[in-house]
Structure 1
Amino acid sequence: MPTIATLTMNPTIDVAYEVNQVRHTHKMRGRKANYDPGGGGINVARVFGRLQGNANCYYLSGGAAGAMLDVLLNQRCFVRKPIQIAGNTRIATNIFERSTGHEFRFVPPGPEVTAAEADACLSALAEAEGQFLVASGSLPPGVPVDFYAKVGEIARKRGIRMVLDSSGDALRAGLSAGNVYLVKPSESELAGLVGRDLDTVEEIESAALQVVESGQAEMVAVTLGANGAMLVSNTGSLFLPSLKVEVKSATGAGDSFLAAMLYRLAVGDDPPDAFRYGMAAGAAAAITAGTDLCFPEDIERFHAQYADIAAS
């Protein structure tokens, strides 16, 4: 069975519900409330599991919210590897306004993490197993910006391919140490890495290739929002447009993309084919309301559309 390890340094309990209209001061009664375990690595694990893969979830867990997060993961039968912290795991809120179709997302910064707690996480990862180690999401307050670089070194020693999906200084420092198999920046994050604006597809490709040729990552998957995405490596580049779908939620689309791409890489697909499957999963997540991510039947449907694009 394809197996990965995921690391979520700043997990969430994602609460999603609907209201008729968002209005200040007024009490707004919600419906269809859902509670899901969230955060980058956990979202990747959820989708990887739906595709019949196995995910070992490493994550920080603290307080009453952390205990609830543990329960939510137990319900989904994940192999849990919690690292206990003193602070409270964060709770994020996703509100869908029925009258407009707009989505409102409220995400707190997360708990303060001590140096000892961060070190305990690194110690736990020293036992990680899988074809990939996916470090995904933001770093909570108190964790040093070079933390993902240390994770990459652990992955190298374990013989596991490192996958990085973060932002800002954490992304930059994680890449600076090399040892990254696949990195998934957005267009703006890539621009920040190379220190210049990226106004054309050619400029995006050149910037991504700069990351590859510098030895920071073997492959760069650049997400371009509604414009699609691009996969770049030393063997070439592939741009794919986004499919035209009715977007119901932006939550977890990038995580779904990454999980599906890694699943297909794990079962032996070449990177371009795996990239197409990832794009299909991103579209499948976009049509799924709230925080429920994507489902295999939708991925297969959209993957067939990408196969048609490739054949045309």
Structure 2
Amino acid sequence: MNSSKIGVLLANLGTPDEPTTPAVKRYLKQFLSDPRVIDLPRWKWLPILNFIVLPKRSPKVAHAYQSIWTENGSPLLAISRQQQSIIQKYFDVKGKNIVVELGMSYGNPSMQSAVDNLIAQGVEKIIVLPLYPQYSSSTTASVFDAFAKALTAHKKVVPFEFIHSYHDNPLYIQALANSIELADDELLLFSFHGIPKRYETEGDFYASHCRETAKLVAEKLGLTEKQWFLSFQSRFGDEEWLQPYTDETLANFPSQNVKKVAVICAGFSADCLETLEEIAEENRENFENAGGESYRYIPALNANADHIQALVKLIESKI
């Protein structure tokens, strides 16, 4: 076996350090200042962000984080650390000279710290795995930007592989299918994070990747077209985003005689604010208040064994 040391960088969005207004404000400022996330001209957007969005939004988001915070901190960070640890143990048991680091596009642990740690440990190659199955310029590309920026601190830029997406990877599709058990009269709703509709028209792969993932999982489960539906959540601002919208879809379902739903957020590799608060809590209320009878949130794949196996195989394909 080649004895050269390989670094694996697991990358995700990030999370505030604490569920407090100041910590959330710091996190949102970094997140929403990224042109990949909000691509308005800086002269126009930054005053809106600093004087309107952050003062108004930070306390609300902090309150939402408080409802899901655990003794281990943010669910996203705790689960991501668990994924990192299990993948590291897998390679250790295999006797492979591989070191796994976790880096976030925003917040801590930072992408810079992850890259610094890998370089300090003498890796001769880095495999970057953004934990976003479906590519989006607002997520996957932001990881690439952060990774490239982190490399500027080093004269020694080692070769690297960047995993673009895995929306149709058979092991990932199977892991999703394995996590779903439907009652005969339940409709399966795939809720993906939204992006502005304009991004799709400008060439972003995201919407097509989401639709392909949902289609493949539905086929794997043997579902008919009437047994599943796809929608997009978490829209922000006044611009049109990918439709149909999850909140409106769930509020309208009961009037369309859809009284029982199971919701899966197949674009999230780990449970987080958008799944645990927005989908499991807030949208449950939307559905039930509209007359829905049964609502189930299907947890993200998190550290499930078949999910870890899918991630490991993606990494091994680049070694």
| TM-score normalised to structure 2 length | 0.31
Higher helix share: 2
| TM-score normalised to structure 1 length | 0.31
The structure whose RCO (Cα within 8 Å, separation 6+) is larger is 2
